[in-house]
A and B are shown apart, each in its own frame.
Chain A
């Protein structure tokens, strides 16, 4: 079983739409969770951390469900500039490195 699994998409949504991505992880010892954004041929950039209680940053909301071992990202009022690949990432304290999912590609259409 893969460590991190994401629907690769692509998700094509109109501007203003709400879109949600899920990600499942297999390692129950995973400590911290993140969503990264990666533009084509660019480096991954941290979008937001994911906290157990759920957290929001503007139009973005992240949720963590440890019992079911998944995290989610909700984007409201999609903008053209949200077009990118969204990477589900977890961090294991003992390993001190990041484990990346393959990413979900989002295209926001005018």
Chain B
């Protein structure tokens, strides 16, 4: 069964450093998403991406964040200058259609900002 993959599984970085989280969505999917989950809190939507552009973003997704699909297979989330409060699990999801029950989540990247 095809699945979304994410790398790395755990990223440790110093405050102020840039990080890039990588995701490989399921190959025939067209919609891509990033969510995050701070430890002990709910999963929160960050951004959705379709047709090579951002389609929606939440208020969490400020100028420090950017997304890109550089080569038609990877989907990346960049945090330009990490803060302590960026420490969280970051989940990538992809979907075949615009909708809820076709969003498949990757295993997540645990980001720890020191």
> Which residues of the partner chain B approach A89 to less than 8 Å between Cβ atoms?
100
The docked-state distance in angstroms from the alpha carbon of A14 to that of B48 is: 41
Task: Bin the interface of chain A by size.
Answer: 20 to 34
- Number of chain B interface residues as a range: 20 to 34
A11 contacts chain B at the CB level, 8 A cutoff: no
Beyond A96-B56, A102-B41, A102-B42, is A32–B100 a contact (Cβ under 8 Å)? yes
| Residue in contact with A43 in the complex, picked from B31, B33, B91, CB distance below 8 Å | B91
Enumerate chain B residues within 8 angstroms of A46, measured Cβ to Cβ. Answer: 101
- CB within 8 Å of A: which B61-114 residues: 89, 91, 98-101, 103, 105-108, 110
Q: Tell me whether A97 and B56 are in contact (CB under 8 A).
A: yes
The answer to whether A98 and B99 touch (CB under 8 A), given A42-B107, A44-B105, A45-B105, is no
Report A-chain residues with C-beta under 8 Å of the C-beta of B45: 97-99
Say what secondary structure dominates the interface of chain A: strand
Chain A residues, Cβ within 8 Å of B43: 38, 44, 87, 98, 100
| B-side interface mostly | strand
User: Is B44 touching A100 in the complex (CB atoms < 8 A)?
Assistant: yes
Within 8 A of B (CB), among A1-47: 4, 32, 34, 38, 41-46
Residues of A within 8 Å of B89, CB to CB, are 41
Cβ-based interface call for B17 (8 A): no
B100 surroundings in chain A (CB, below 8 A): 32, 34, 89, 91, 98
Q: Contact check, A43 vs B105: say whether CB atoms are below 8 A apart.
A: yes
- Given A32-B100, A91-B100 in contact, is the A100-B42 Cβ separation under 8 Å? yes
Contact B48–A96 (Cβ < 8 Å): yes
B44: chain A residues at CB < 8 Å are 100
The 11 sampled A-B contact pairs (Cβ below 8 Å) are A32-B101, A41-B108, A41-B110, A44-B43, A89-B100, A98-B35, A98-B43, A98-B45, A98-B103, A100-B44, A102-B42
Closest 6 CB pairs of A and B: A91-B100, A43-B105, A100-B43, A97-B45, A102-B42, A100-B42
